[in-house]
Structure 1
Amino acid sequence: MENKANDVTKMTALLAATLAAFLVPFMGSSLNVALPTIGNEFAADAILLSWISASFLLASAIFTLPFGRIADIYGLKRIFTCGIITYTVFSFLSGTAPSAMSLIIFRAFQGIGASMMFGTGVAILTSVFPLAERGKALGINLAGVYFGLSIGPFLGGIMTQYLGWRSIFFLNVLLGVIVISFVILRLKGEWAECMGEKFDLKSAVVYSFTLLLLMYGFSSLPGTLGIILTVMGIIGIIVFILVDTKVDNPLLDMDLFLKNKVFALSNLAALINYSTTTGAVFLLSLYLQYILGYTPQKAGLVLLPLPLIMVIVSPIAGELSDKIDPRILASVGMALTAVGLSFFSYVGFFTALPYVIAGQLVLGSGFALFSSPNTNAIMGSVKKRNYGVASATASTMRLSGQVLSFGIIILIFSLLIGKVQITPDTYFNLLGSIRVAFKVFAVACFMGILTTAYGKISSI
Structure 2
Amino acid sequence: MINTSKDEQTSFTATLWVIAAVQFLTPFMFSAIGVALPAIGKEFSSGAVQLGLIEMVYILGVALLLLPAGRYADIYGRKKIFFSGTILITLATFALAFAPTVNLLIMFRFIQGIGAALITSTSFAILNSVCPPQERGRAMGIVVSCVYLGISAGPTLAGLMIDYLGWRWIFLSAVPVELTILIFAVIRLKGEWAESAGESFDWFGSAMYMIALSGIIIGVLEAQHLAMAKWFGLAGLFLIILFFIYENSIAHPILPLKKIVNNKVFALSNLATWLNYAASFGVTFFFSLYLQIIRGVPPKITGFILIIQPLLQAVCAPVAGRMADKYSPAPIATFGMGMCSLGLAGCIFISDVSSYFHLFSILCIMGIGFGFFSTPNSTAIMASIEKKDYGMASSMIATMRTCGMLTAMTLITALLSFYLGDQAVTAVTGPDFLQTMHTAMVVFTLLSIVGIFLSMARTTKGSDQR
Same fold, judged at TM 0.5 (above): yes
- Shift of the 431–183 alpha-carbon distance from structure 1 to 2, 3 Å rule, reads farther
Residues 1:390 and 2:390 aligned together: no
2: CA distance, partners of 1:177 / 1:384: 29
1:125 equivalent in structure 2: 127
CA contact (8 A) 1:138 1:372 kept: yes
CA contact (8 A) 1:211 1:233 kept: yes
- SS of the counterpart of 1:321? helix
- AA aligned to 1:354 is F
CA-to-aligned-CA distance 1:386-406 (integer Å, 9 cap, x gap) = 111111111111122223322
1:447 equivalent in structure 2: 450
1: CA distance, partners of 2:234 / 2:296: 41
Q: How much has 1:264 moved relative to structure 2?
A: 0.7
Q: How much has 1:418 moved relative to structure 2?
A: 4.8
- Structure 1 residue aligned with 2:207, among 198, 205, 208? 205
Q: How much has 1:354 moved relative to structure 2?
A: 2.9
- AA aligned to 2:59 is L
Q: How much has 1:290 moved relative to structure 2?
A: 3.7
CA contact (8 A) 1:154 1:303 kept: no
1:161 equivalent in structure 2: 163
- SS of the counterpart of 1:190? coil
2: CA distance, partners of 1:225 / 1:80: 36
1:83 equivalent in structure 2: 85
Q: How much has 1:179 moved relative to structure 2?
A: 1.8
- AA aligned to 2:138 is K
CA contact (8 A) 1:83 1:114 kept: yes
Q: How much has 1:320 moved relative to structure 2?
A: 1.0
Identity of aligned pairs, percent? 36
Q: How much has 1:176 moved relative to structure 2?
A: 2.0
1:340 equivalent in structure 2: 343
Q: How much has 1:336 moved relative to structure 2?
A: 0.9
CA-to-aligned-CA distance 1:338-365 (integer Å, 9 cap, x gap) = 2222333444444433332221110011
2:376 equivalent in structure 1: 373
TM alignment of 1:116-155, pairs within 5 A: 116-155=118-157
2: CA distance, partners of 1:416 / 1:329: 38
- AA aligned to 1:385 is K
- AA aligned to 2:66 is T
TM alignment of 1:184-203, pairs within 5 A: 184-203=186-205
- Shift of the 171–357 alpha-carbon distance from structure 1 to 2, 3 Å rule, reads farther
2: CA distance, partners of 1:111 / 1:392: 14
- Structure 1 residue aligned with 2:310, among 286, 307, 319? 307
- AA aligned to 1:297 is K
TM-score normalised by L of structure 1:
0.88
Which stretch has the larger CA shift, 36-45 or 282-291? 36-45
Which stretch has the larger CA shift, 19-28 or 352-361? 352-361
2:3 equivalent in structure 1: none
- Shift of the 174–427 alpha-carbon distance from structure 1 to 2, 3 Å rule, reads farther
Count of residue pairs the alignment pairs up: 455
- Structure 2 residue aligned with 1:273, among 251, 272, 276? 276
- SS of the counterpart of 2:255? coil
CA contact (8 A) 1:220 1:226 kept: yes
1: CA distance, partners of 2:300 / 2:98: 22
Q: How much has 1:52 moved relative to structure 2?
A: 4.2
1:254 equivalent in structure 2: 257
- Shift of the 416–31 alpha-carbon distance from structure 1 to 2, 3 Å rule, reads farther
1: CA distance, partners of 2:426 / 2:97: 26
CA contact (8 A) 1:94 1:103 kept: yes
TM alignment of 1:25-36, pairs within 5 A: 25-35=27-37
- Shift of the 330–451 alpha-carbon distance from structure 1 to 2, 3 Å rule, reads same
1: CA distance, partners of 2:142 / 2:56: 27
2: CA distance, partners of 1:95 / 1:439: 42
- Shift of the 432–170 alpha-carbon distance from structure 1 to 2, 3 Å rule, reads farther
- AA aligned to 1:442 is T
Q: How much has 1:15 moved relative to structure 2?
A: 0.5
Q: How much has 1:292 moved relative to structure 2?
A: 3.5
Q: How much has 1:413 moved relative to structure 2?
A: 3.5
- AA aligned to 1:70 is Y
CA contact (8 A) 2:10 2:130 kept: no
TM alignment of 1:282-301, pairs within 5 A: 282-301=285-304
CA contact (8 A) 1:29 1:281 kept: no
- Shift of the 11–230 alpha-carbon distance from structure 1 to 2, 3 Å rule, reads same
Q: How much has 1:49 moved relative to structure 2?
A: 5.9
Q: How much has 1:333 moved relative to structure 2?
A: 0.9
TM-score normalised by L of structure 2:
0.87
Unaligned stretches of 5+ in structure 1? none
- Shift of the 179–294 alpha-carbon distance from structure 1 to 2, 3 Å rule, reads farther
- SS of the counterpart of 1:119? helix
CA contact (8 A) 1:80 1:121 kept: yes
Cα RMSD after superposing both structures: 2.9
Which stretch has the larger CA shift, 245-254 or 359-368? 245-254
1: CA distance, partners of 2:293 / 2:46: 15
- Shift of the 304–291 alpha-carbon distance from structure 1 to 2, 3 Å rule, reads same
- AA aligned to 1:365 is I
- Shift of the 341–43 alpha-carbon distance from structure 1 to 2, 3 Å rule, reads farther
1: CA distance, partners of 2:228 / 2:361: 41
1:65 equivalent in structure 2: 67
Q: How much has 1:169 moved relative to structure 2?
A: 2.8
2:236 equivalent in structure 1: 233
- AA aligned to 2:251 is D
- Shift of the 108–274 alpha-carbon distance from structure 1 to 2, 3 Å rule, reads farther
2: CA distance, partners of 1:346 / 1:286: 16
- Shift of the 89–346 alpha-carbon distance from structure 1 to 2, 3 Å rule, reads farther
- Shift of the 118–245 alpha-carbon distance from structure 1 to 2, 3 Å rule, reads same
- SS of the counterpart of 1:322? helix
- AA aligned to 2:319 is I
- SS of the counterpart of 1:120? helix
2:4 equivalent in structure 1: none
CA contact (8 A) 1:215 1:407 kept: no
